[in-house]
């Protein structure tokens, strides 16, 4: 059996090696390493895929979130509501810009932000909401957008884990995750469902004025070369990474289908095991399974992780310390936030390998290893 990886990037690359190598070779031959033709074409192709007016590539997903907040003109002390159960970058950039992160709890089924909890946290200082489409499941965006409109708040979607996912509105219309809020942000970190071979990110919006501000902020605040209208930063997706992403974007739906097939197999295998809660799939969300995350009850997830390692099965515990309990947020009153669902989940969840190259024998070995531990 081929050794099991959480994400098998080498085998994925092997399947597209000739196309990727040729695309990178074209960039090297052109020597247009920054803002080259590959970057422009990828932006246009991603716009079409997401059905969004503007895609502005940048250096990474964290920059995408920071640039989005800078473009909105938020002021120090403004409050930004976000879940605590997420990768630290979501909240880190809020504090970096001297804004105040306000942490709220998540839905116990989807692990995405609880819209009712957001409403209770809104104050006169609240200016924005950052929902996180965690593990590949889309936040319930329809009521969230209605709430934001009611209170005149911006919505910045953290879509680092759910690119390609669909959200279905109550009238049956569908939109891609990241293309629903005022701004969407994503990461192209190699392990993402759409990943490059280094760092990369992008920002999405349907607002022409916001798009112009985002482009300006990402390029040293320039409105024209050497004319700097606002304080900005330097954040670009390089041409080599764009070339890789151009090869992988047409395969994204195929990659998602492969991930969902693995998730289906896990769901079926663990359906009769009371210690396991498998990932919930809300009817409004087309789950793209960036991670396959189990919730354990009556079993020690650290012991399971250790046991699986002995069976040569990697397993990851993502976000064991939620953002509101991190030392970096103590001065915001972090631990004073009452987030019982978040605190519970961070002691119970564990993620199993899921990727596009999973073999049937690998999948069966993982399943039997989990079952043998729990039985």
Residues 47 and 174 in one domain: yes
Q: Is 192 a catalytic residue?
A: yes
Query: Is residue 274 domain-resident?
Result: yes
**pLDDT class of 1 with cuts at 50, 70, 90:** confident
Domains in the chain, number: 2
Domain range enclosing 200: 9-104+111-249
| pLDDT at residue number 137 | 98
Give yes or no for a contact between 82 and 156, defined as CB atoms under 8 angstroms apart: no
**pLDDT class of 281 with cuts at 50, 70, 90:** very high
Provide the percentage of residues in the chain whose pLDDT is more than 90: 97
CATH number reported for the structural domain that contains residue 313 in this entry: 3.90.1150.10
Strands (E), the chain: 54-58, 79-83, 100-104, 126-129, 154-158, 166-168, 174-176, 183-187, 201-205, 222-224, 227-228, 276-277, 292-296, 349-352
Give yes or no for a contact between 193 and 356, defined as CB atoms under 8 angstroms apart: no
Residues 233 and 355 in one domain: no
Angle at 163 between CA 362 and CA 264, to 5 degrees: 35
Q: Residue range 317-346: average pLDDT?
A: 93
Question: In whole numbers, what is the pLDDT of the chain averaged over residues?
Answer: 97
Residues 226 and 317 in one domain: no
| pLDDT at residue number 335 | 78
Among candidate residues 183, 167, 130, the one with its CA nearest the CA of residue 287: 167
Taking the C-alpha atoms of residue 243 and residue 11, their distance in angstroms, rounded to an integer, is 19
292-329 pLDDT, tens digit per residue, is: 999 999 999 999 999 999 999 999 999 999 999 999 99
Between the alpha carbon of residue 149 and those of residues 101, 146, 152, 181, 257, the distances in Å are 20, 5, 5, 11, 34
Query: Is residue 322 domain-resident?
Result: yes
Pairing type for strands 126-129 and 79-83 reads: parallel
Strands (E), 226-275: 227-228
180-230 pLDDT, tens digit per residue, is: 999 999 999 999 999 999 999 999 999 999 999 999 999 999 988 999 999
Query: Is residue 328 domain-resident?
Result: yes
Give yes or no for a contact between 185 and 64, defined as CB atoms under 8 angstroms apart: yes
Question: 152 CB contacts (<8 Å, ≥6 apart)?
Answer: none
Taking the C-alpha atoms of residue 211 and residue 205, their distance in angstroms, rounded to an integer, is 6
| pLDDT at residue number 301 | 96
Q: Name the helix (H) or strand (E) containing 189.
A: none
Residues 234 and 264 in one domain: no
Residues 285 and 310 in one domain: yes
| pLDDT at residue number 333 | 84
Q: Out of 100, 176, 192, 213, which one is annotated catalytic?
A: 192
What is 132-154 written as a DSSP string?
B-GGGPPP-HHHHHHHHHHHT-E
The residue written with tokens 């803002």 in the block is 35
């Amino acid at each position: 059996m081929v050794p099991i990886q959480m994400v098998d990037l080498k085998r994925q690359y092997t399947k597209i090696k000739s196309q990727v190598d040729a695309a990178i070779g074209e960039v090297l031959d052109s020597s247009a390493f920054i803002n080259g033709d590959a970057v422009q074409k990828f932006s246009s192709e991603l716009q079409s895929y997401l059905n969004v007016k503007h895609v502005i590539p940048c250096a990474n997903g964290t920059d995408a979130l920071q640039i989005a907040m800078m473009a909105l003109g938020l002021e120090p002390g403004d409050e930004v509501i976000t879940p605590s159960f997420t990768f630290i970058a979501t909240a880190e950039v809020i504090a970096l810009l001297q804004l105040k992160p306000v942490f709220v709890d998540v839905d116990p089924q989807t692990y995405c932000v609880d819209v009712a909890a957001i409403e209770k946290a809104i104050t006169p200082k609240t200016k924005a909401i950052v929902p996180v489409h965690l593990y590949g499941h889309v936040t319930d965006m329809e009521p969230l957008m209605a709430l934001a409109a009611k209170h005149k708040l911006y919505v910045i979607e953290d879509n680092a884990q759910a690119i390609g996912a669909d959200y279905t509105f109550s009238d049956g219309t569908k939109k891609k995750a990241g293309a629903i809020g005022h701004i969407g942000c994503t990461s192209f970190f190699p392990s993402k469902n759409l990943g490059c071979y280094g760092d990369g990110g992008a920002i999405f919006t349907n607002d022409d004025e916001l798009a112009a501000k985002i482009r300006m902020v990402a390029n040293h605040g320039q409105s024209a070369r050497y004319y700097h209208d606002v304080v900005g930063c330097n954040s670009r997706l390089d041409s080599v990474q764009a070339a890789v992403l151009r090869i992988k974007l047409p395969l994204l739906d195929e990659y998602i289908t492969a991930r969902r097939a693995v998730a289906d197999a896990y769901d079926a295998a663990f359906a009769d095991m009371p210690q396991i809660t498998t990932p919930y799939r809300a009817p409004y969300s087309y789950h793209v399974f960036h991670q396959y995350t189990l919730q354990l009850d009556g079993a020690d997830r650290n012991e399971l992780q250790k046991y699986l390692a002995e069976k040569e099965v990697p397993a990851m515990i993502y976000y064991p310390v939620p953002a509101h309990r991190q030392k970096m947020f103590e001065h915001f009153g972090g631990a004073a936030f009452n987030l019982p669902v978040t605190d519970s989940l961070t002691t119970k969840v564990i993620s199993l390998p899921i990727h596009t190259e999973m073999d049937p024998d690998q999948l069966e070995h993982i399943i039997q290893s989990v079952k043998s531990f729990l039985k």
